[in-house]
A and B are shown apart, each in its own frame.
Chain A
């Protein structure tokens, strides 16, 4: 993946993806349309018997959130995290880029229910 690795040095941000595995229905949109192609199907099953995506190339992810925009099941999203401060990771991840509070956090952690 040459395109993905050459850009890493100059970047001030790194990408992270967050996956709610139990919501995934294995449609493959995130894997197919990821611009740097850093996702793959996991070998593991989720509780509904689907293979959720897994990040296989952490350095390649740009955090563009196109996976989040494509996901029909609201199961994945990408985030840009500043590279310098590892402490900023948690706080940046806790605040929605859309400027909303984090009231949904607990519900998401519990996973989906039918």
Chain B
């Protein structure tokens, strides 16, 4: 240490600095109460100091924050007192855009809510061994285009468990797993989102015992072009996918903006997808849609990786319970098609295929046995909409779908059952 006189001067200076800091805080964070300002500072410090083993507790109450909480550490747990008890509100967010942004592995977040973020609610990038449990993400003004894109959003991550969680009002997808591997999404609830639950460019995902209702589209399994990884091997089973008829509020250009309102389960450009034992009902465009990237309207040559596979392949649909739906499809083309084929009071069959297939790669006029769309679903009907010819020759002939595919293995997450 240096001489005493200097220290006293330093103390005086420090006091001045502290006072100045306080005065400024009072004036410029008027949107937050002094208690919230103090809470946010202390919480930010916990995020900065987190290291393996750290548990960050979020106490009960609604805590207003104005800045993203960023975590950059492995082995951290963030834990609240309940999804309706510990609420982080980002309504006044000025720096984000996420609510919680995580770069870390061996991460658990549970029993809390994230509300009204400007961007994604919870984003986890490049993690391994992630558990998201009892987390509620909501935009409390209901569906709005200005809501954040994704509710719960792990991306480029591995070994992901999302359970007992919910998303409300996401302007893209409520629960969205992107470019990841080994994923379980179960016992979740998605409502009032554009897409309820979406698995995109991901490998080995089990989506089961969830409820997707009141979204534009219920459960989506998509592959987008240009990304580092093409997805495959997703099982969608024992879900309830009901009345997903919400008018789309996605901005144009967004990945899900091409999804018509009234879509139950949608597979787009993905492969090895198994859809079974679900209750899928009252989705007014169709209960189940199988489609290619060409139907999204985003296809163009210069902007799409030539190695991208735009076709759905090896899709196996069996033992689902369908009811209602298909009676009021979204969009003029589909409406016209429905009326022309099934009459004003008729409805589409439960399964609608847009009709795009890889014509360069047929065996005896059919896709190879291990790349076909196979349906073993009682008397559920199927429509080939003939998208490639602008819906000129649609047909309900189901003979080409009479096949089976080998079943996919369950996803195993080490250490979690």
Query: Does B bind A?
Result: no
